[in-house]
Structures are given as C-alpha cells and as structure tokens.
A and B are shown apart, each in its own frame.
Chain A
Amino acid sequence: MRHRHHNHGTGRAIAAGMLGAAAGAVVLMAARSMMRNNYPTGPEDSPRHAWRRGASSRWREGAVVGRSITVNAPREEVYSRWRDFTTFPNFMENVVSVTPLDQTRSRWVVEGPAGSTIEFETRITEDRPNELIAWESDEDAEVRNSGRVTFRDAPGGRGTEIEAVIAYDPPGGAVGRMAAKLFQKEPGIQAKRELRRFKQLMETGEIATAASGSAAPST
C-alpha cells in the first residue's frame, strides 16, 4: 500500500513538475517580453548599429555593419581621399577595382568564390563635401548593398572620425555564399580591417605588414 502510494505520488509529482516548468517558462517569457516592452529606453546617443538586438526592429542583424575609426588628419583631406573610389583596392581586401563611369556612377569588380569575380554598379545617392558620402548598388546587382560614410571633426583636434555603415541583402543561396566571401563570416571584422588600413595609409603613407620576404605587402 505504502509502496503503491509512493509510486503514484512520484508520477503525479513528475507530471506536476513538468506542468509547473512549462508554466514557469511561459511566465518567464511573458515577463521578459513585458520587461522589454516596458523597459525605459530613455536618452540614447550611440549609433544605431551598436544597439542591442530588439532595441530596433527595423535593422535585421547581419544585414548592417557599422564601424567608426579616428584618423589623425583634417576632415577635408580624409573626405577627398575617400571620395576617390579608385583607391579602394589599396585597403579593401576583396575589391579588385572601382572605375568611375561618370560623376555619380562607378563600376565595382570584387572577388567572388573560387577565383571568380563579381561586378556591379553603384551610384552616389548623396554627397556632401567633407561631411558625407552615401551610395547604393543597382537594383539588379548580385549582392545588393548600400552604404553611408560620414566624416566629423574629432574633439580636441584629434583629426577626423569616420563612421561607415554598410547594409546589404541578407545572404541566401549562391548569392549568400558570395556575400559571405565578400564580407567574410563576420562582416564587422572585414569593415574594421578596411578602416584600419585606410587609417594606416592616411597617417603613415603605407599599410603595416609583417611580411619580410616578398616585394608586395601581404594583407
């Protein structure tokens, strides 16, 4: 009798426990979503790409890359060097060439998978000298992308703050593989390295490398 009761009790306890756990999880989820909804956002000055997931529903994770860097040079100089797109291959690892077609349009050749190349055209959508350059790829580009680079005076005469925000189609299928190659696994890392190399060129006139045996800098 005691034995049977004990078994019965155990089964009931497990059932109750599972139910309790499930209910607990539901309550917890509800509470978390309530907390998120009710969380006081308050003032926030950080750039949007630095926000936690959920803080902005308009920007899907992985589709937007934003990075800032300070270059020890005047804003006019930094802007005009950046405005010359033909120099991009010097500091952008996967960019083979950028050829201006007219005042606003450029033709890009970038490295694709297995030694192939991908070409697309971009046009400048906004260009405010010494302040901002924004571009957008053609509608039919294989990897649709758009970006915005802003230039601000760094405080205390420390040069120029560059902020680059690049948005591209979320990867999927063959295009996704190319995009992954184009922006590497971590798109943020690629953007960061490119900004670092741009800064090195601007500040030191060369790109740092540990290579010692070859005539060309290895990047």
Chain B
Amino acid sequence: MRALVWHGKHDVRVETVDDPKIVNPRDAIIKITSTAICGSDLHLYDGVIPAIRPGDILGHEFMGEVVEVGKGNSRLSKGDRVVVPFVIACGKCFFCQKQQYSACDNSNPAEKADMSEMLYGHHMAGLFGYSHLTGGYAGGQAEYVRVPYSDIGPIVVPDDLDDDEVLFLSDILPTGWMAAENCEIEEGDTVAVWGCGPVGLFAIQSALIMGAAQVIAIDHYPHRLELASRIGAKVINYKNSRVYEALMDMTGGIGPDAVIDAVGMESHGFAPDNLYDYAKQTLKLETDRPHVLRQAIYACRKGGRVSVPGVYGGFVDKFPVGAFMQKGLTLRTGQTHVQKYLSSLLDMIRERKIDTTFLISHRLSLEAGPEGYRKFAFEQNETTKVVLKPGWENANG
C-alpha cells in the first residue's frame, strides 16, 4: 500500500510499504477514505517530539471502510463505515472503565511503555502514528491501517453524512469539546482561547454551545481570526494588541473566567520569554516553549480555570507557579478521551448544532501529502485544515 512516512525534520514522503494484517483477535483493518493532518503532526514534522523514527507512518485522524475483522470482534462487520479515535484504548482496564480512555493501561505495548513511564512516571496509552512513546503504532495517512481493540474504539457513521462532516470526530472535535468542558463554564463566563487552529476553533464553538457569555480568540493569522469571528468569537490579534491589557479591558478588569491554551509546545510570538524559550529549545535545554501557557495563567481571573488541550511533551521552565497558586487557579488537561464523546458529538453533527466543515481549506490526494504538510507548516494563514483522500488520483479542491 501507499503511506506517508516520516524521514526527518520537514521530510515526509509517500512510499510503498507492506499492507497491515490482523494481528490480534480484536483488530480490524480499515481502508481509509479520508485522513487529516493535525496540528500535532506538525510537532512531529518539526522534529520536536522525541522517539519518532525514520520509517514511521504518520496520521491519527482518519476514517474509512472496514475490510477485515478479527475473530474476537463481534461488533464491526465488513463494509461498516467508521471513524477511528486517535487514542487506542482497550475498554477493559480501570481507566477505560472510568472513561479516561487516553490513560488506558494496556494499549501501549509492554516493551514500549518503559520510555514514557521513565519520562512521566506512568506509561501513556497507545496513539496512532505518534512516535514510539505512545506505542509506535502505524498511523492512518495511508491506504490501510490496523486498528487494535476495534470492538471498542471506532464509531459507525451513517451514510447520509459526508466524510468531511464526521472525520473530525477522530480527534479535533472531541479535543475542542473536552477543552471547553475542562473550563467548567458557568453562566456569564468569558472564555479566552489562545490559538485559532482547528482545536481552538472547535473549542470556541463548544464553549458557546455550553453557554459562555463571550469567547475571546487570540491568534495572529488574520484568516484564522476571521474564521473565529465568523463562529461568534471576539478576536484579538496579538500583533496589533497587547493581549493582557486587551483581555482586562474586554472583561471589565476581571480577566477571563477560563483560559484555553490551544497552542501547546511550539507557541509563536516575540515576547522576551518566548525568545528565551526559543533559544533554550534550540540548545535542547528545554523541550517545550510555553509562552502561551504563561500568558494564559497571568491573564486568568482569580479562582479561574486553565484548560490545556495544546500538546506538551517534556519540560518547561519559568512556569508561573506563584500566579497559579496565589490566584487559586485550577488546571485541567490531557490527551482527549475521544471514545467518551463520540456518540453525543455525532448526534450534534446530525442535528447541525455544530459545524465541522468550515475549517477545511485543502482536500488533497494522499500522494500530495508532503505538499499538505508544507502548506500547513509554512502557510498557516491560508491553510487551516488539510484533508487527504487516499482514493483520489490527483490533488484537487
């Protein structure tokens, strides 16, 4: 089959590799019809995630048709159209039964689990196409993929919904939703969202559905701010305005009740602390650049909530623990418990309560994947979301 393979920093290629097969009884093989490039794939593309190896197949947002089912799976049948969560979860362990699927105890292979246990104190769940820290599972930017525990994860979607409408159930829609849920929104709340990429945009929609009085979006790409504005957010371009002052003025001096860092470890910006972080990250003294997180904590109102859907991988310094403690903030974060949100979000898509297609800027063939990465990484204003279609011969749309 053809698959998009990582070779190094800013070097991904579409190559011919072996087709996946059923390995374990609960597996299924999916023929992929749509697969997206995620903002977190850019962290791999930029080479800042440890434990990615040349030859790894990328991609954790995908859907398609079931073409083979293991003998231990009585839930799926050949021909089912499914969206697959990016988190691989067994459904049986203590964590899965608490619906903390991204904390699954079993999906990271025993011999791979040591790495994240050493780094984080506990091993992480397996994820598709996201380095050997999370299991080294082949990703879905390919023609076919092996899906473990396929009797638990994939959700069957009805034929009257297009791929583009349901594809984002795999990651960014539930991630944006959980980010808003972690804000514990109350009536009258202001929620500030840093980063108007796909997760930020879905977090904005989710916060408004959950009853936020206003959502303020912060970015520097005019087109992304336009999208945020179109779905009902007030916007701040940090290249035009001082973010802290703007937020205080827009909240009567109180500050946002909840703040969302939808940027993560590679935040942009020219604040002195960010330049310092950039230098340290380049010198490998620090793995993550947390400018947004510091600013969000600084701006958050006393007793407010900090929600972090943005991905961090290692260590940061200058964490403003004083502001965090003195203001009595609550921090909630984590990889998304995708499986928990699938059916309620699918209902919302069907009822047209949530718009999932407005952010797609590019639809390309799988062969054009490397070009999709380049655009998403270097033309971020115009490129809000790239969807690859393995069935397509050539790029179009």
A203 at the interface (CB under 8 A from B): yes
Give every chain A residue within 8 A of B94 (Cβ-Cβ).
70, 72, 158-159
Per the 8 Å Cβ criterion, residues 187-241 of B in contact with A are none
A204 at the interface (CB under 8 A from B): yes
- Distance A194 CA – B109 CA, assembled complex (angstroms): 11
Q: In angstroms, how far is the closest chain A Cβ from the Cβ of B63?
A: 18
CB <8 Å contact, A208 and B148: yes
From A70, A158, A196, residue with most partner B Cβ within 10 Å: A196
Give every chain A residue within 8 A of B23 (Cβ-Cβ).
209, 211-212, 214-217
Give every chain B residue within 8 A of A214 (Cβ-Cβ).
21, 23
A206 at the interface (CB under 8 A from B): yes
- Distance A209 CA – B110 CA, assembled complex (angstroms): 8
Give every chain A residue within 8 A of B113 (Cβ-Cβ).
193, 196
A189 at the interface (CB under 8 A from B): yes
A11 at the interface (CB under 8 A from B): no
Q: In angstroms, how far is the closest chain B Cβ from the Cβ of A166?
A: 17
Q: In angstroms, how far is the closest chain B Cβ from the Cβ of A210?
A: 4
Q: In angstroms, how far is the closest chain B Cβ from the Cβ of A161?
A: 12
- Distance A179 CA – B250 CA, assembled complex (angstroms): 68
Q: Considering only CB atoms, which chain B residue lies closest to A159 in the complex?
A: B94
B52 at the interface (CB under 8 A from A): no
B97 at the interface (CB under 8 A from A): yes
B112 at the interface (CB under 8 A from A): yes
B37 at the interface (CB under 8 A from A): no
Per the 8 Å Cβ criterion, residues 130-168 of A in contact with B are 158-159
- The verdict on A196 contacting B110 (CB below 8 Å), with A203-B92, A208-B148 known, is yes
Give every chain A residue within 8 A of B19 (Cβ-Cβ).
213
Q: In angstroms, how far is the closest chain B Cβ from the Cβ of A159?
A: 7
CB <8 Å contact, B135 and A204: no
Give every chain A residue within 8 A of B25 (Cβ-Cβ).
205-206
A197 at the interface (CB under 8 A from B): yes
CB <8 Å contact, A204 and B26: yes
Q: In angstroms, how far is the closest chain B Cβ from the Cβ of A189?
A: 6
CB <8 Å contact, A210 and B138: yes
Contact count A vs B, C-beta below 8 Å: 89
CB <8 Å contact, A204 and B20: no
Q: Considering only CB atoms, which chain A residue lies closest to B149 in the complex?
A: A204
Per the 8 Å Cβ criterion, residues 64-113 of A in contact with B are 70, 72
What per-residue 1/0 map shows which CB atoms of A180-219 lie under 8 Å from chain B? 0000000001001110110110011111111111111101
Q: In angstroms, how far is the closest chain A Cβ from the Cβ of B100?
A: 13
B159 at the interface (CB under 8 A from A): no
- Distance A23 CA – B18 CA, assembled complex (angstroms): 68
- Distance A189 CA – B111 CA, assembled complex (angstroms): 9
Please classify the interface of chain A as helix (H, G, I), strand (E, B), loop, or mixed, using the class held by over half of its residues.
loop
Give every chain B residue within 8 A of A192 (Cβ-Cβ).
110, 114
CB <8 Å contact, B26 and A208: no
- The verdict on A207 contacting B24 (CB below 8 Å), with A70-B94, A189-B114, A212-B138 known, is yes
Q: In angstroms, how far is the closest chain B Cβ from the Cβ of A176?
A: 23
- Distance A214 CA – B25 CA, assembled complex (angstroms): 14
- Distance A212 CA – B25 CA, assembled complex (angstroms): 13
- The verdict on A204 contacting B146 (CB below 8 Å), with A193-B110, A197-B110 known, is no
CB <8 Å contact, B24 and A217: yes
CB <8 Å contact, A206 and B108: no
B320 at the interface (CB under 8 A from A): no
Per the 8 Å Cβ criterion, residues 106-139 of B in contact with A are 106-114, 126, 135-138
From A192, A194, A210, residue with most partner B Cβ within 10 Å: A210
Q: In angstroms, how far is the closest chain B Cβ from the Cβ of A192?
A: 7
Give every chain B residue within 8 A of A203 (Cβ-Cβ).
90, 92-93, 105-106
B269 at the interface (CB under 8 A from A): no
- Distance A158 CA – B97 CA, assembled complex (angstroms): 11
CB <8 Å contact, A212 and B21: yes
- Distance A208 CA – B19 CA, assembled complex (angstroms): 19
Give every chain B residue within 8 A of A193 (Cβ-Cβ).
110-111, 113-114
Give every chain B residue within 8 A of A189 (Cβ-Cβ).
114
Give every chain A residue within 8 A of B97 (Cβ-Cβ).
72
Contact of A206 among B72, B135, B136, B137 (CB under 8 A): B72
Give every chain B residue within 8 A of A204 (Cβ-Cβ).
26, 90-93, 106, 149
Give every chain A residue within 8 A of B108 (Cβ-Cβ).
208
Per the 8 Å Cβ criterion, residues 75-103 of B in contact with A are 90-94, 97
CB <8 Å contact, A206 and B26: yes
- The verdict on A209 contacting B109 (CB below 8 Å), with A193-B114, A204-B149, A215-B23 known, is yes
Instruction: Supply 29 A–B pairs (Cβ within 8 Å), ascending by A.
Output: A72-B94, A196-B110, A197-B110, A199-B106, A200-B106, A203-B93, A203-B105, A204-B90, A204-B93, A204-B149, A206-B24, A207-B24, A207-B110, A208-B24, A208-B90, A208-B107, A208-B109, A208-B135, A208-B148, A209-B109, A210-B137, A210-B138, A212-B18, A212-B23, A212-B137, A212-B146, A213-B19, A213-B21, A216-B23
- Using CB atoms and an 8 Å cutoff, list the residues of chain A in contact with chain B: 70, 72, 158-159, 189, 192-194, 196-197, 199-200, 203-217, 219
Q: A205-B72, A209-B109 are in contact. List 8 more A-B contacts (CB 8 A).
A: A189-B114, A196-B110, A203-B90, A203-B106, A207-B109, A210-B138, A212-B20, A215-B21
